[in-house]
């Protein structure tokens, strides 16, 4: 199975509760799910996995007993998953998993320098990357549970 690590945000939340859990055993209306959940479902399916663990859906959000039991199991849940999807660049579940980013943060760019002086021509190559300290802050990493999820994933 796959796990999802994301930031809930302040918007409308689609969650499992005592009132809707029986319906969720049959189906969950995709049209009511936030974009991050839908994209995670698609990725999970396209990678050939059958199951996706999302805290909002797998923990009864209106049950302190279920929350306590599942929070105790979080280490096992993330450690046992085959893959964890991290929605790093978004502030809420409606923003999706994808974001535009400067590719130099991931892969340095090759820069070829050429110079001419009289009849002499010079050329050299170097790699340029952005200092990781200059990268924009990652919204997901402001969430308290992420350290545990990242370490165990």
Tens digits of residue pLDDT in 30-60: 998 999 999 999 999 999 999 999 999 999 9
Query: Structure pTM?
Result: 0.69
The confidence band for 134, taking pLDDT boundaries of 50, 70 and 90, is: low
The confidence band for 152, taking pLDDT boundaries of 50, 70 and 90, is: low
Q: What is the rounded CA–CA span in Å between residue 37 and residue 34?
A: 6
Q: What is the rounded CA–CA span in Å between residue 121 and residue 12?
A: 62
Which has more pLDDT, 129 or 94?
94
Contact (Cβ atoms closer than 8 angstroms) between residue 147 and residue 74: no
Q: What is the rounded CA–CA span in Å between residue 89 and residue 59?
A: 24
Which has more pLDDT, 144 or 78?
78
Q: What pLDDT is recorded for position 103?
A: 63
The residue assigned the tokens 């002499």 is 120
96: left (phi over 0), alpha (psi -120 to 50) or beta: left
Across all residues in the chain, what is the average pLDDT? 82
User: Among 9-13, 48-52, 103-107, 114-118, which stretch is predicted with the lowest mean pLDDT?
Assistant: 103-107
């Amino acid at each position: 199975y796959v796990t999802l690590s994301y930031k809930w945000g302040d918007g409308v939340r689609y969650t499992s509760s005592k009132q809707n859990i029986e319906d969720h055993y049959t189906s969950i209306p995709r049209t009511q799910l936030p974009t991050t959940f839908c994209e995670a479902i698609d990725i999970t399916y396209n990678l050939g996995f059958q199951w996706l663990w999302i805290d909002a859906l797998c923990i009864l959000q209106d049950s302190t007993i279920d929350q306590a039991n599942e929070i105790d199991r979080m280490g096992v849940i993330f450690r046992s998953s085959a893959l964890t999807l991290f929605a790093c660049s978004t502030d809420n579940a409606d923003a999706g998993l994808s974001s535009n980013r400067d590719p130099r943060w991931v892969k340095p760019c090759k820069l070829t320098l050429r110079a001419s002086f009289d009849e002499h021509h010079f050329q050299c190559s170097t790699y340029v990357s952005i200092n990781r300290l200059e990268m924009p802050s990652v919204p997901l990493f402001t969430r308290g549970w992420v350290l545990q999820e990242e370490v165990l994933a």
